Chain A
Amino acid sequence: MLIDFFSAALIGTGAFFFIAGTVGLLRFPDTLTRLHALTKADNLGIGLIVIGLLPRVADVWTAAKLVAVWALILLASATVAQLAGHSARREKGSR
């Protein structure tokens, strides 16, 4: 019961961050601020959802896989944001 409440609260908060990030992506004025909204919100959102799911999994292996998914998404989204930001700044500079 307490675990259900804990999961629901964390997954709900995670979903909220996804929505906030999407709103930012749609509303912010330029590439860098949009990237900021997207990556910050996604990282927090996916992290909270993973924490919310952890107490519900069957065994330690599944939990480890969830955490690995989280770590890989963090790594990939941070890298892609850096690369996209770089290329956006370079395009601006050459204009």
Chain B
Amino acid sequence: MAAGAGFLLDLGFGLLLLAVATFALRTRTTYAAVVGFVAFGVLLALVWFRLGAADVAITEAAIGSGLTGLLLLNASAMLRHTESAAVGLQTRLPVRAAAFVAAAAVAAGLAVAVLALPSPAPTLAPMAVAGAPATGLGNPVAATLMAFRATDTLLEKVVLLLAIIGIWSLARDELWGGRPGRRHEADPKGTLVFFARLLPPVGIVFGVYLLFVGADHPGGAFQGGTILAAMWLLAIMARLSDTPAIDGRWLRFWLIAGPAAFVLVGLAGLALGEAFLAYPQPFAKPIILGIELAKIVTVAVTLAMLVAGPPERPGNPHR
């Protein structure tokens, strides 16, 4: 009975995901497609949770759906003046047929690959669980990200830095060193300002909580950093704060703090004779928490600046 109910729930989620994905692809306006994408991400997070992957679920909800959705919304707002022209365009039939064939081939290939997996699928999970106590972390996902696959996690942070440089390089020459995004308008006695004063204390506590709880339970610096970034963006939108000029020293310091701490620890591991990113055993957990603390600020600042976009206003003239 219980298994049957679970199966019905999974079937419902699967059909709903397909329906929302179809909506997002078929709908005519970019804005509606982005709304469909966000709904798809939230549903996908629920599916990850059903699969027992709570860490992935939180990441999908915060970054896959929330942050990426916000970036896409910004992009769709910028494209609004080209929207009417684009809606009238009809791709030629051969192109659409080729796209259909390519997409169907990819889907079929993925289906074959998944169905051809031996059952039970090959997995390194038991090794990760067995090795986790050596790192002092109770959450094997955190142990994998911060110890067994630390190089991957380090390079992820570097990719984020490259993304920021890419966005900033879209600035017009005379605005280099200016402030990203436009200055937002907000009624100082309005709802948004009230909300932006009320929510950040709760959000900041929750973001830092996600970082610390991530050692032993689902969570981590990336998820926590996303929430901190959202709180900062909320204050910026309510005009309680402003985006910093992109040549500011503190901004640049925090943008590189996370990867820099990671690289320093990695080099120290090399110098002390073991290997790049080898943590000395008894101090593994404090070192990892130290990296994570630097990382959460870096993630928060990086993600907020990604959403804020390229500089659009002159910064401080005296700098």
Contacts and interface: CB of A to CB of B under 8 A. Distances in A.
Q: Looking at chain B's contact residues, is the secondary structure mostly helix, strand, loop, or mixed?
A: helix
Contacts of B202: 72
Task: Tell which of B194, B195, B199 has the most Cβ of chain A within 10 Å.
Answer: B195
B198 interface: yes
A75 B195 contact: yes
Interface string A56-95: 0000000000000000100110010011001000000000
Classify chain A: how many residues form its interface, as a range.
under 10
Contacts of A79: 191-192, 194-195
B192 A83 contact: yes
Contacts of B195: 75, 79
Interface string B172-215: 00000000000000000011101100110010000000000000
B191 A86 contact: yes
A39 to B, nearest CB: 13
B187 to A, nearest CB: 9
B191 A75 contact: no
Contacts of A72: 202
Contacts, number: 14
A82 B199 contact: no
Nearest to B196: A79
A76 B230 CA distance: 13
Contacts of A86: 190-191
Contacts of B198: 75
A83 B199 CA distance: 15
Contacts of B192: 79, 83
A44 to B, nearest CB: 21
Nearest to B195: A79
A86 B202 CA distance: 25
Contacts of B199: 75-76
Nearest to A82: B191
Task: Tell which of A72, A79, A83, A86 has the most Cβ of chain B within 10 Å.
Answer: A79
Nearest to B187: A86
B189 to A, nearest CB: 13
B238 to A, nearest CB: 11
Contacts of A83: 191-192
A83 B191 CA distance: 7
A79 B199 CA distance: 11
Contacts of B194: 79
A20 B194 CA distance: 30
Nearest to A85: B191
Interface string A3-25: 00000000000000000000000
Interface in B99-129: none
B12 to A, nearest CB: 14
B24 to A, nearest CB: 19
Nearest to B194: A79
5 contacts: A72-B202, A75-B195, A79-B191, A79-B195, A86-B190
Instruction: Please list the 6 inter-chain residue pairs (A to B) with the smallest Cβ-Cβ separation, ordered nearest first.
Output: A82-B191, A79-B195, A79-B191, A83-B191, A83-B192, A75-B198
Given A72-B202, A79-B194, 12 more contacts: A75-B195, A75-B198, A75-B199, A76-B199, A79-B191, A79-B192, A79-B195, A82-B191, A83-B191, A83-B192, A86-B190, A86-B191
